[in-house]
Amino acid sequence: MIVLFTDFGLHGPYTGQMKAVLQQMVPSTPLIDLFADAPMGDAKASAYLLAAYAAWFPPGTIFLAVVDPGVGGMRPAAIVKADGRWYVGPGNGLFEIVQRRAENALSWDIDWKPERLSASFHGRDLFAPVAAMLARGDPPPGPLRADGADRRPDWPDDLGEIVYIDHFGNAMTGLRAAILGPNTRLAVGDLAFERARTFSDLPPGTGFWYENSNGLAEIAVNLGHANLDLGLVVGSEVKVIS
């Protein structure tokens, strides 16, 4: 299974062209769209989102993950294997949190080059073919990297920021709920939110936070829209009040 995690959008040609490459190289490998609207151009916020959602997938899953504002520039092209899952994409910190939380992780530089490499769409021209190579069982096309290459030790273990707003207007943070206590409140600006179990535990219109289905602390409003009702956007700072 190849899972797509990008900031490309599902509409427009980018996701479709990547799938056309994969389909031609590994026609029997299933393709799953996980996120096509990861935090745009923001490898740091995306790293926390990816780590939370990748953990749900079985070992052997290949993540084709492209949040790549530096495409065409000097950032490396990377493969990471962490706890049995593969990750292919830009070496810009996108895999930092996956690597940090893994019991076992290795990484490789991609030194394979396609016949034609566009300056702006490495997702299609470079990363998709490499993901397909891994899916058909090829070894990583490039040398193993030294420990610590492209790592971001300056990033925190959990990110006090909104990293995703979903279709319902719920606002995911980069904080794992498991590190927060039952009485922990989360604050955004002047607003503070208590922890609840799920939506139906609260009166309509009430803002709260809860552990979402992938373990992230998420701010929501029962029968409302946290983004519109509370003014939350991707990048809003979230403070932990114990």
Binding positions for its own copies, rule: CB under 8 A:
1, 3, 7-17, 19-20, 23-24, 27, 30, 32-37, 40-41, 53, 56-58, 69-74, 118-121, 124-125, 164, 166-168, 197-201, 210-214, 223
**Residues across the chain:** 242
Q: Which is nearer to its own copies, 140 or 220 (CB)?
A: 220
From the CB of 109, what's the least distance to its own copies, in Å? Answer: 19
* Whether 22 contacts 134, CB under 8 Å: no
> Considering beta carbons, is residue 61 or 106 the nearer one to its own copies?
61
Return the number of the residue (53 or 87) whose C-beta is nearest its own copies.
53
Q: Shortest gap between Cβ of 53 and its own copies (angstroms)?
A: 6
138: CB partners within 8 A, 6+ apart: none
Strands 31-35, 2-6: pairing kind? parallel
* C-alpha to C-alpha distance for 44 and 113, rounded to whole angstroms: 27
From residue 208, alpha-carbon distances to 173, 187, 202 in Å are: 13, 10, 9
The residue (of 76 and 106) whose beta carbon lies closer to its own copies is 76
Q: In whole angstroms, how close is the CB of 142 to its own copies at the nearest point?
A: 21
